[in-house]
């Protein structure tokens, strides 16, 4: 029997000049955009494409809550990992967690969680189709086994 | 007989910290966003709301060309004027021009033009409804009189 | 004796097209930028200019924590109020709170708090100069009286 | 004798949700940010790191002119190539050209040029150090041979 691989997405990205501010570090709202990169990559690893999820299943993950603790500044041209996990799935609510780590020195720059409500294109709460529920629960379970 | 008022929009905006970069000045792509602020304000002065133009008339001004000359840096907290004019209207093509000026010292920071194609929601070239054509031509004419 | 005016900043801003996303609403990270607008306006009302605070006193309010609950979508061209208060000041830590409200129907779109550490240009924790401490405590006190 | 490799950078990036707008396509100013990604990658291929260029040589490539023709919309989750070349180098002026191409169907989405002035940290025009001049001229020459 093989142990399940932990469902963690670790997309890498490089800090753009446009993302820095006059203090010489990344402006804090850009981390929130990077979390989207992590989330979408986690979905991809779970076998789904968020673009199709919206188009084919009219399923949209509307953000209802964001919490982020900034630990250390990110600098221009830093290569970063956005370590992303699916933490909870309860009905139409999903919660993801994130750690932003600099590749060069493995320093943890930020920790965060985002909570999302599954809605249709009219922003009405909707039910997550079964195929996502089972895949997402598996993703959470795999992590819990660790 | 009263002379027509020149059709120039001059919305003001204040530079946000988020718009600066590590050189301590505004990152150049933000000017392109400010031009949108100028354009929408000019439409408003001409009697139109771009939101309604999209919803009610399925008329969208898709950007097909942008040219911008940067003359002098904009700094954090600067109050700026985005002086905006409609320069040309030929069929489904509109061209706007812009001057970004700092309020405090009247220094010209950038000059630009953007060209737009009138399209429907499917990005198909469409005809500008007559009410816009006449108002826009008046806007151009007024400026030419000056 | 006149009661102190509550220290609440209520800057207004209009949603830019650039801030919307393909769901037709404002992308969530833009709210985080708007909080900066509120914060800076509150400082201005307290008699300070954040630009000078950085240049003259080498005092920077580095963001260490952001929490935001999204209640209802913001739409293109919406005029919004970013109601901003200073909630706490403890040593080198400041906490601001925010409510984003749409002007037209007074709907509350988001509630948030951000926590900031006072640092110098090298991101070293520093002490808030006395002139800010007294003004900020007054700002909090005024609100508490309400 | 081996022929020189053409000096063309072709970084890939994936369209973020944050970069789309309510028309369902990428908002046009984001292309301008992507050009930076291409430029920095070209410098990297030429053996330089723009971060070091700023820190060690006090050489900054301030944008003085941007021109972009938008040919076709970019969509969410599209994988794009930002094909970047150094076109001209005359004293303290550099010009880069760009083609943004969608990987899946090789459609050309935009063509652009940006012009940059070499400045120091105080935004004073400065001379490009010899090591860059020779490397950059080689980069242009290689392309011209093609």
Tens of pLDDT, residue by residue over B10-44, are 999 999 999 999 999 999 999 999 999 999 999 99
Subunits close to A (at least 3 CB pairs below 8 A) = B, C, D
Nearest Cα residue to A82 out of A38, A129, A123, A22: A38
Sheet holding B108-119, edge to edge: B12-14, B79-90, B93-102, B108-119, B60-70, D60-70, D108-119, D93-102, D79-90, D12-14
Best A40, A51, A66, A100 member to test C by mutation, with max C CBs in 10 Å, is A66
Instruction: Tell whether B29 is within 8 A of chain A (Cβ).
Output: yes
User: Residue D145 pLDDT > 50, yes or no?
Assistant: no
Residue of A nearest to C21 (CA): A62
The pLDDT value given to residue A6: 57
Rounded distance, CA A115 to CA A97, Å? 9
Which of A21, A52, A65, A77 does the annotation list as catalytic? Answer: A21
CATH topology (fold) of C12-135: Thiol Ester Dehydrase; Chain A (3.10.129)
The pLDDT value given to residue B67: 98
**Backbone angles phi and psi of B102, in degrees to 5:** -80, 135
**Backbone angles phi and psi of B78, in degrees to 5:** -60, 140
Rounded distance, CA D146 to CA B12, Å? 48
The pLDDT value given to residue D140: 86
User: Residues for chain C: how many in total?
Assistant: 146
Alpha-helical segments (H) within B46-129: 50-57
Instruction: Tell whether D25 is within 8 A of chain C (Cβ).
Output: yes
pLDDT digits (tens, 9 = 90+) for A77-131: 999 999 999 999 999 999 999 999 999 999 999 999 999 999 999 999 999 999 9
Instruction: Tell whether B18 is within 8 A of chain C (Cβ).
Output: yes
Rounded distance, CA A100 to CA A83, Å? 6
CB contact under 8 A, A70 and C60: no
The pLDDT value given to residue C142: 60
CATH topology (fold) of A12-145: Thiol Ester Dehydrase; Chain A (3.10.129)
pLDDT along chain C (146 residues), means of 10: 65 98 98 98 94 96 98 98 95 96 98 98 95 89 52
The pLDDT value given to residue A145: 44
Q: Please tell me the number of Cα atoms within 13 Å of B29 on its side-chain side.
A: 21
Residue B97: beta bridge partners?
Answer: B85, B113
Residue D137 CB coordination number (10 Å):
12
Instruction: Tell whether A24 is within 8 A of chain B (Cβ).
Output: yes
Residues of A in contact with B31 (CB under 8 A): none
Strands annotated E in C2-144? 12-14, 60-70, 79-90, 93-102, 108-119
Angle (nearest 5°) at CA D122 between D118 and D128: 25
Instruction: Give mean pLDDT, residues D19-23.
Output: 98
Residue for token pair 């250390």: A72
Instruction: Tell whether C145 is within 8 A of chain A (Cβ).
Output: no
User: Residues for chain A: how many in total?
Assistant: 146
Instruction: Give mean pLDDT, residues D69-94.
Output: 96
SS3 state of residue A53? helix
Nearest CA of chain A to the CA of C67: how many Å?
4
From the list B18, B50, B75, which residue is nearest C36 (CB)? B18
Residue of B nearest to C14 (CA): B37
Subunits close to C (at least 3 CB pairs below 8 A) = A, B, D
Instruction: Tell whether B140 is within 8 A of chain D (Cβ).
Output: no
Helix (H) or strand (E) holding C35: helix C29-45
- One digit per residue, pLDDT tens: chain B, 146 residues? 444 445 899 999 999 999 999 999 999 999 999 999 999 999 999 999 999 999 999 999 999 999 999 999 999 999 999 999 999 999 999 999 999 999 999 999 999 999 999 999 999 999 999 999 998 988 887 644 44
Helix then strand then coil, % of chain C, to nearest 5: 30, 35, 35
Alpha-helical segments (H) within A26-120: 29-45, 50-57
Residue for token pair 């985002």: A114
pLDDT digits (tens, 9 = 90+) for A17-47: 999 999 999 999 999 999 999 999 999 999 9
Rounded distance, CA A18 to CA A21, Å? 8
The pLDDT value given to residue C2: 44
Instruction: Give mean pLDDT, residues A2-31.
Output: 89
Q: Biggest alpha carbon distance in chain D?
A: 54
CB contact under 8 A, D67 and B62: no
The pLDDT value given to residue C146: 41
From the list A17, A36, A49, which residue is nearest D17 (CB)? A36
Nearest CA of chain C to the CA of A123: how many Å?
9
The pLDDT value given to residue B3: 44
ipTM above 0.85, yes or no: yes
The pLDDT value given to residue D6: 57
Integer CA distances (angstroms), C117 to A22, A59, B139, C135, D8, in order: 17, 39, 50, 17, 44
Rounded distance, CA A8 to CA A42, Å? 7
Residue A59 CB coordination number (10 Å):
21
SS3 state of residue B59? coil
Q: Which two tokens stand for residue D110?
A: 């935009």
User: Residue D68 pLDDT > 70, yes or no?
Assistant: yes
């Amino acid at each position: 029997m093989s142990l399940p691989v932990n469902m963690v997405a670790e997309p890498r990205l490089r800090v753009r000049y446009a993302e820095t501010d006059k203090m010489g570090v990344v402006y804090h709202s850009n981390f929130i955009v990077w979390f989207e990169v992590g989330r979408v990559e986690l979905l991809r690893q779970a076998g789904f494409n968020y673009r199709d999820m919206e188009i084919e299943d009219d399923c949209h993950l509307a953000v209802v809550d964001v919490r982020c603790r900034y630990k250390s500044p990110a600098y221009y041209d830093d290569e970063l990992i956005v370590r992303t996990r699916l933490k909870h799935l309860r009905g139409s609510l999903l919660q993801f967690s994130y750690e932003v780590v600099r590749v060069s020195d493995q320093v943890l720059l930020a920790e965060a969680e985002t909570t999302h409500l599954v809605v249709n294109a009219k922003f009405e709460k909707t039910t997550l189709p079964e195929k996502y529920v089972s895949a997402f629960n598996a993703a959470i379970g795999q992590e819990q086994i660790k």
